[in-house]
Chains A and B, each alone.
Chain A
Amino acid sequence: MNQQANQPSEQVKKIVIVGGGSSGWMAAAAMSRHLPSSVSVTLVESDQIATVGVGEATIPAIRTFNAGLGIDEAEFMRETNATFKLAIRFENWGNIGDAYNHAFGFYGFPINDVSFQNYWLKMKQSGLDFPIHDYNLAYAACDQDKFARKQFDPNSADSRYFYAFQFDAGLYAQYLRKFSEKNGVTRIEGKVEQVTLNEHDGFIKSISLESGQTIDGDLFIDCTGFRALLISEALNVKYKDWSHWLPVNRAWAASTKYPSKDSSIPPYTRARALTAGWQWRIPLQNRTGDGNVFCNQYISEDEARSQFIDNVEGDLLNEPRLIKFTTGKREKIWHKNCVAIGLSSGFLEPLESTSIYLIQASVLQLIRNFPNMNFSDTSRNEFNHQMNYRYEEARNFLILHYHATEREDTKFWKYCKNMSIPDELAHRMKLFKERGFVAGQKLDLFSEHSWLAVYFGQGIVPAGYDPRTDNVNNEQIKSFLERMRTDVQLALKQMPSHNKTLESFCRGELISKL
């Protein structure tokens, strides 16, 4: 029989969050919203150390997080200059000249419980040549800069999509700071200079600030970004390097102005593949965020900077900043009494905007597996297990983008195309190639339709499809498909422009002052 704990444990009373970027304030907001008043939350941030200053595109799960806080969506969008995000637009990925949207929308409808793509594949083999993306409303909306704010409804052709946001990360942190302080979070400005560990168990006992102030805590949350002050510097938890799968390691980042006040704002993020990486463009209400992500083994920092400036559209509002990183993940995200959330826990790379999702997942998993003063390994193991799983799922999805390519025009792309990939991803790609089947974990990360978008978008065409499609005769399939396609066109016609929806829903103060 196992050793059994028999006495109730003391509760955690004091949480100390170090770091005031997106991760610090997201953690503070959620903790303060749900924890009882017997637990205090203190957040320490330093004005001397800037936040990473990027991280502005999200995936639809962010709406669940905000809803959990009870945040009003229009207010939040106004305060953060947010726009709606329906997709990421990928250019030059499968091949130079290719373009596709990974939209947060569904492809067609299933027929007799068999997924849509199977019927489409069957019809394609017998000559039908409408692209599969014609059956995805969110995809089509992006091509016309349209957006309607709808609640997802799987049964109606005009609401089979989700949406996310593109926002100013600095403003989001400020917004959550207001929220958290209202809920009783104590904010302390100051630079942490020292971390003191208990001698007997190596747990973090306290942190000391430059000012001399010492702050004790029961549970420490490391949100210090790439510095990883607690989890790495103090506790020495190693980093698992995933650069062999995700080789990019540098980024130049800046912002640009819109040409005019009426410029059409696309409801999507752009990701253009270049020679040794890719360039992003994230449209906010008042400006865009731009950057060039690259691998310095294949292109120098200076070359990448000029490549960035050559490619950027619109006037730069600031000098490009260089950010260095290594893709990977902390071996343990929670170690002893320290949980790393945000960049301190790992960084995959920004291609599918998964970082903020991983922050929110960490916060929710921490709430779900909250420790007591016993700090036994049970909840920690469960947390680490759940987070590994999410990190790996996101990682595999990202690797797919680099690996499923025809490109061999540069050394970088040659490497990506030919590198060996994780077994899990290899198996899933094989399932899709052989049968058009999308296997996946039932997480709130990327749905079957997201995988379809990227598989098809990067040129993988399955050899087979579900044989149950033979239950429906080809004439019938054709007419079902035609109806789905025209329903998409009809819904698209009714859809307002993204600018118009923004105008009526959440136009921020800033733009009207411009």
Chain B
Amino acid sequence: MTQDTIKKIIIAGSGLTAWTAAIAIAKSFLNTELSVVVLGDETSHEEAPYLLPQAMAFHRHLEIDERVLMRATDATFSVGTQFEDWNKKGHNFFMPFGPHGSVTEFIDFQHFAIKSKLSNSFDGAYEDYAFATAVAKAGKFMHPQNDPSSLLSTLPYSINLNPTKYLSLLKNLAKQIGVIEIAESIGEVNLEKEGAFIQSIESTVGNLHEADFFVDCTGQAAQLLGQALKTKYTTWSQWLPMDKKVSYETTTESPLKANSKITGLDAGFLRSHSNQNTTIHEISFCSAETTLEATLKQLGFIEDELTSVEKRTFSSGKRENQWVDNCIAFGEASVNFPSLEVSKLQLVQEDVMRFIQLFPNKNIEPSLSHEYNRVTERRYNNLRDYLILNFVFSSRSESSLWQDIKRSDYPKSLSDKMRLFREHGKIAFNEDEIFMHQHWTAKFIGLGYWPINYDIFLDKFNFQELQENFVRMRNAIQQAIPQMPDHEDYLKQGLG
């Protein structure tokens, strides 16, 4: 006797979200009877696919060799994100993927920094104690090494890719492992019962496509989960009011640094990340506060002079549930937010992998969706808090956007986190965080929100010795940099 498994799954959509879901699912069921169909015809909007270090493991899981991936997608390496003109003009800080300093027994590095700062003896900026900061600033890069005694073991990295090339790579690989593409637009969605369980999708050319399970990757429209199954949207726009997005491309300039960049604007921000040939820019702004024209002007551009400009409207928030009956949504059909350090595609990768762990059988065991939804809820809310935090310390007065965010009541989970950090330098522990406590810490400090107390357990250690250690560490960082290859050269050699 064997169980009744799902034989066919339809992934509605045609963009990176759909093909990421398709390839991950197909790969996980390679030698089974499951057939994976991607149904869709829209030339959908592609957000710049900048990724976090976790993405390297995702690609390993798909057995996509890093070099192949880099070469096929014009990719560059990234060790973190540079924030510029953030709280106000001239306020810059770096958010490395890797750690700051090192842990003294069980006491995190920031406590040393806080204690030093309180005695006016903190040398340099917090970011100077992260190897990645120096690597990025000097335009260097090389792969991390295993030797735990080497600084180079502390350099988690990720990649920035060209979306069009990445899409065609994923598509090709997915088709090679049996994913079927049906290039028809989605028309009617037929339900089995009143308001529940999708039975089939009728395409606009009149073909009926049935399946056991459906994946909604139709973007903000959420044609299946939202429109057909009527799953409500919870808005976050009171905290994250940006509602317009514009993207355009420029030619990548030398020297090519191994990081992404986010620049604060009067009523929004600009995010830039480079492939080897093109640099993709994305402006997110609040239309109640400014116009596109004014925003571009601030950046010294005139719209007509830009190539491949794409404009979109969006609203931050999430669907109440991501998985309902026999339908799950990924990407913008499930959650939307202004893209700072994390892209929606990053979330898609992680969400798909969690779904695969809970992949249902034909009877769609109800406990599986319940489990998926409750973990997703925690993850998304933690991420929401992390995103809001970026805007709460601004002293910009050019528009009321930043001030409005500052004045709004943050979610309690965030204000609790802020107070705990302020008073004790600690990060409240939550399960299911995309960003670890060291990222929260770096973000707080990068934003200028220093704690007023350090961990008393640090006093057990000889402070002068600690200071000497960390001076040595900074020196070691400075000494390691000249020995490293330039990021640009490294790309040329590594890929040549």
Contacts of B31 in A (CB 8 A): 470-473
How far is the CB of A300 from the nearest CB of chain B, in Å? Answer: 41
Contact residues on A (Cβ < 8 Å of other chain), bracket? 35 or more
Contact of A427 among B1, B30, B358, B370 (CB under 8 A): B370
Quick one: closest B residue to A435, CB to CB? B365
Contact of B361 among A374, A382, A467 (CB under 8 A): A467
Contact with A along B30-45 (1 / 0, CB 8 A): 1111100000000000
Contact between B1 and A125 (Cβ–Cβ < 8 Å)? Answer: yes
Contact of A126 among B2, B33, B360, B428 (CB under 8 A): B2
Contact with A along B430-462 (1 / 0, CB 8 A): 010000000000000000000011011101100
Contact between A437 and B358 (Cβ–Cβ < 8 Å)? Answer: yes
Q: How far apart sit A232 and B361, CA to CA, in the bound complex (Å)?
A: 51
Contacts of B460 in A (CB 8 A): 34-36
How far is the CB of B427 from the nearest CB of chain A, in Å? Answer: 9
Contacts of B356 in A (CB 8 A): 468
Contact between B456 and A370 (Cβ–Cβ < 8 Å)? Answer: yes
Contacts of B426 in A (CB 8 A): 368-369, 379, 382
Contact of B415 among A2, A8, A379 (CB under 8 A): A2
Contact between B32 and A470 (Cβ–Cβ < 8 Å)? Answer: yes
Contact with B along A357-378 (1 / 0, CB 8 A): 0000000000111101010101
A486 interfacial contact with B, CB 8 Å: no
Contact between A376 and B423 (Cβ–Cβ < 8 Å)? Answer: yes
Tell me the A441-475 residues at the B interface (CB within 8 Å).
Answer: 441-442, 464-468, 470-473
Contact between B457 and A378 (Cβ–Cβ < 8 Å)? Answer: no
Contact residues on B (Cβ < 8 Å of other chain), bracket? 35 or more
Contact between A470 and B423 (Cβ–Cβ < 8 Å)? Answer: no
Contact between A470 and B29 (Cβ–Cβ < 8 Å)? Answer: yes
Contact between A9 and B452 (Cβ–Cβ < 8 Å)? Answer: yes
Contact with A along B12-55 (1 / 0, CB 8 A): 00000000000000001111111000000000000000000000
Contact of A374 among B359, B360, B367, B423 (CB under 8 A): B423
Q: How far apart sit A176 and B7, CA to CA, in the bound complex (Å)?
A: 61
How far is the CB of A343 from the nearest CB of chain B, in Å? Answer: 26
Interface of A is mostly: loop
Q: How far apart sit A4 and B429, CA to CA, in the bound complex (Å)?
A: 21
B209 interfacial contact with A, CB 8 Å: no
Contact between B3 and A379 (Cβ–Cβ < 8 Å)? Answer: no
Contact between A36 and B367 (Cβ–Cβ < 8 Å)? Answer: no
How far is the CB of A34 from the nearest CB of chain B, in Å? Answer: 5
Q: How far apart sit A5 and B451, CA to CA, in the bound complex (Å)?
A: 9
Contact between B452 and A8 (Cβ–Cβ < 8 Å)? Answer: yes
A381 interfacial contact with B, CB 8 Å: yes
B297 interfacial contact with A, CB 8 Å: no
Contacts of B366 in A (CB 8 A): 430, 434
With A1-B407, A39-B456, A126-B1 in contact, do A471 and B371 touch (Cβ < 8 Å)?
no
With A4-B422, A125-B2 in contact, do A372 and B453 touch (Cβ < 8 Å)?
yes
A156 interfacial contact with B, CB 8 Å: no
Contacts of B392 in A (CB 8 A): 1
How far is the CB of A138 from the nearest CB of chain B, in Å? Answer: 26
Tell me the A463-509 residues at the B interface (CB within 8 Å).
Answer: 464-468, 470-473
Quick one: closest A residue to B406, CB to CB? A1
Contacts of B423 in A (CB 8 A): 5, 9, 372, 374, 376, 378-379
Tell me the B363-378 residues at the A interface (CB within 8 Å).
Answer: 363, 365-368, 370-371
B185 interfacial contact with A, CB 8 Å: no
A309 interfacial contact with B, CB 8 Å: no
Contacts of A374 in B (CB 8 A): 423
How far is the CB of A377 from the nearest CB of chain B, in Å? Answer: 8
B6 interfacial contact with A, CB 8 Å: yes
B59 interfacial contact with A, CB 8 Å: no
How far is the CB of A374 from the nearest CB of chain B, in Å? Answer: 7
Contacts of A472 in B (CB 8 A): 31
B466 interfacial contact with A, CB 8 Å: no
With A125-B2, A468-B29 in contact, do A431 and B371 touch (Cβ < 8 Å)?
yes
Q: How far apart sit A2 and B409, CA to CA, in the bound complex (Å)?
A: 9
Of A126, A430, A437, A464, most buried by chain B (CB within 10 Å of CB) is A464
A336 interfacial contact with B, CB 8 Å: no
Q: How far apart sit A381 and B428, CA to CA, in the bound complex (Å)?
A: 10
Contact of A434 among B5, B367, B418 (CB under 8 A): B367
Contact between B424 and A379 (Cβ–Cβ < 8 Å)? Answer: yes
Contacts of B33 in A (CB 8 A): 470
Contact between A467 and B457 (Cβ–Cβ < 8 Å)? Answer: no
B253 interfacial contact with A, CB 8 Å: no
Q: How far apart sit A276 and B273, CA to CA, in the bound complex (Å)?
A: 67
Quick one: closest A residue to B429, CB to CB? A386
A512 interfacial contact with B, CB 8 Å: no
How far is the CB of B221 from the nearest CB of chain A, in Å? Answer: 30
Tell me the B132-162 residues at the A interface (CB within 8 Å).
Answer: none
Contacts of A439 in B (CB 8 A): 371
B118 interfacial contact with A, CB 8 Å: yes
Contacts of A125 in B (CB 8 A): 1-3
Quick one: closest B residue to A369, CB to CB? B426
Contacts of B32 in A (CB 8 A): 467-468, 470-471
Contacts of B367 in A (CB 8 A): 427, 430-431, 433-435, 437
Contacts of A442 in B (CB 8 A): 431
Between-chain CB contacts (< 8 Å), 12 pairs: A1-B392, A1-B406, A2-B419, A34-B460, A35-B457, A376-B419, A382-B428, A427-B370, A427-B371, A442-B431, A470-B5, A470-B32
4 A-B pairs with least C-beta separation: A36-B459, A434-B365, A470-B32, A378-B420
Known: A466-B359, A467-B3. 16 other contacts (CB 8 A): A5-B422, A9-B423, A9-B452, A34-B460, A367-B106, A367-B457, A370-B456, A382-B426, A385-B428, A430-B366, A430-B367, A435-B358, A435-B365, A437-B358, A467-B359, A468-B356
Q: Hey, which bits of chain A sit against chain B, CB under 8 A?
A: 1-2, 4-9, 11-12, 34-36, 38-39, 122, 125-126, 367-370, 372, 374, 376, 378-379, 381-382, 385-386, 427, 430-431, 433-435, 437, 439, 441-442, 464-468, 470-473
